[in-house]
Amino acid sequence: MNKNESRKIKNLTKYNINQLETRILGACNSLTSQELNSYFRKLNSNTLILGVGGSGVVSHFAKRILTNKNDIVVKSLNVLDIYEEPLVLYQNVVAFTYGNKNHGITKALKEGKKNNLNTYIVTHSDKTSKQHNIISYNSDVDSEYSFISIASTLAPMTLMLKYYLSIDGREFEQLIQTILKDKSIPEIKLNNQNFEIMSCAKTKSAEVLLETTMTEAGIGIPIIHNKYEYCHGRSTLSHHYSTNLIYLINGEPSELDKLLLELLKPYYEHIYIIHVNNYQDKIINEFALTYKCLLFCHQLAAKKDMELSRVNYCRPIVKTAYYYNGEFV
């Protein structure tokens, strides 16, 4: 789909969400589990993962998968952080980039190459490279046109989930279809634009998607709390300011979850609990939780009569900063 075609669609975000299953399964079916194993099993030593925006969500999900499946040390970094990281401790750097046109990613990979790291790019683009290992999930399915990443976030996440589970064909498709059919999220009661997000390591991808999407789309002002750090003074914020809480739970609620949710009732205008416990595996739960957070953002935008795919963004800054290609350090 190109920009002109997208203009003909009345509610582009809704269209993109309806096309999500076709797009992410199309991307995943472009690579078999055997091919994914041949790529990702090579990462058998300390690895850095890079991603920006929607790809930053993917990088945190990939970190969890590679840590668990490959039994290695993995760290997810912001692009600028690679210049301060002791690269001698790592052997690989993996970058997630939908179009493979991100200048920050390109420069960060060059930094990795300069320090003798093995460099990998996971991308929807089918571009070849003599410098880096390219893992392309390009398919014949029409591409997404959207300001906020939808399929371009969920497709590479699905690819990593497929690698983690090592299943192909109908069994994997049924799992994805089951996840996408569950659209149960709390109903939003629009009052103010301040949102605090309560999260932990098990909900990191969902947390990052919420913060990134709400900020980039301008649909809310998000503040992230780690659940335990909240016990150490962060409750002062809600004591002084009117705000909403989004509480993320992966799996069975912990004793800390139960305590906080009981204590916090008087201090927030609304508490939205986004919880997934449908699957025994917490990584599958995290994928489903991230998807539900996307739906939550879609509902929030709709309440404000806004669209995630068509965002009224700050053009002067975007035209200058987004395409910046100078020195980063």
The count of structural domains within the chain is 2
Please name the helix (run of DSSP H) or strand (run of DSSP E) that holds residue 70, with its range, or none.
helix 54-70
User: Both tokens of residue 215?
Assistant: 């900020």
Residues 158 and 40 in one domain: yes
Residue that is last in its domain, among 114, 149, 181: 181
Print pLDDT tens along the chain (329 aa). Answer: 767 777 789 899 999 999 999 999 999 999 999 999 999 999 999 999 999 999 999 999 999 999 999 999 999 999 999 999 999 999 999 999 998 888 999 999 999 999 999 999 999 987 777 789 999 998 878 888 999 999 999 999 999 999 999 998 899 999 999 999 999 999 999 888 999 999 999 999 999 999 999 999 999 999 999 999 999 999 999 999 999 999 999 999 999 999 999 999 999 999 999 999 999 999 999 999 999 999 999 999 999 999 999 999 998 998 898 888 888 88
Rounded to 5 degrees, what are φ and ψ at 76?
-95, 130
In one-letter notation, the amino acid at residue 315 is R
User: Both tokens of residue 213?
Assistant: 């999407």
d(CA 134, CA 119): 9
Residue that is last in its domain, among 131, 153, 181: 181
Are the beta carbons of 79 and 52 closer than 8 angstroms? yes
Query: Could you tell me the CATH number of the domain that includes residue 238?
Result: 3.40.50.10490
Are the beta carbons of 168 and 216 closer than 8 angstroms? no
Residues 115 and 210 in one domain: no
Are the beta carbons of 56 and 105 closer than 8 angstroms? no
Residues 76 and 107 in one domain: yes
Are the beta carbons of 123 and 97 closer than 8 angstroms? yes
Instruction: Please check whether residue 318 lies inside any domain of the structure.
Output: no
Residues 218 and 144 in one domain: no
What range defines the domain where residue 253 resides?
Answer: 194-303
User: Both tokens of residue 145?
Assistant: 């046109």
Instruction: Please check whether residue 162 lies inside any domain of the structure.
Output: yes
- DSSP readout, 215-254? HHHTS-EEEEEETTGGGGTTHHHHHHS--EEEEEEESSPP
Instruction: Please check whether residue 208 lies inside any domain of the structure.
Output: yes
Instruction: Please check whether residue 59 lies inside any domain of the structure.
Output: yes
Instruction: Please check whether residue 317 lies inside any domain of the structure.
Output: no
The residues with which 223 forms a beta bridge, in sequence order, are: 196
CA distances from 191 to 271, 302, 303 (A): 12, 14, 10
Residue-level pLDDT at 45:
98
Residue-level pLDDT at 328:
82
Residues 26 and 83 in one domain: yes
The set of residues, in sequence order, having a beta carbon less than 8 Å from that of 35 and lying 6+ positions away, is none
Residues 278 and 240 in one domain: yes
CA-wise closest residue to 138 among 161, 120, 150, 122: 122
Instruction: Please check whether residue 311 lies inside any domain of the structure.
Output: no
Q: How many CB atoms lie within 10 A of CB 30?
A: 18
User: Both tokens of residue 264?
Assistant: 């916090």
CA-wise closest residue to 192 among 245, 242, 266: 242
Residue linked to tokens 């997934």: 276
Sheet strand arrangement including 92-96: 74-77, 47-50, 92-96, 118-123, 133-136
Residue-level pLDDT at 2:
67
The set of residues, in sequence order, having a beta carbon less than 8 Å from that of 254 and lying 6+ positions away, is none
Are the beta carbons of 79 and 50 closer than 8 angstroms? yes
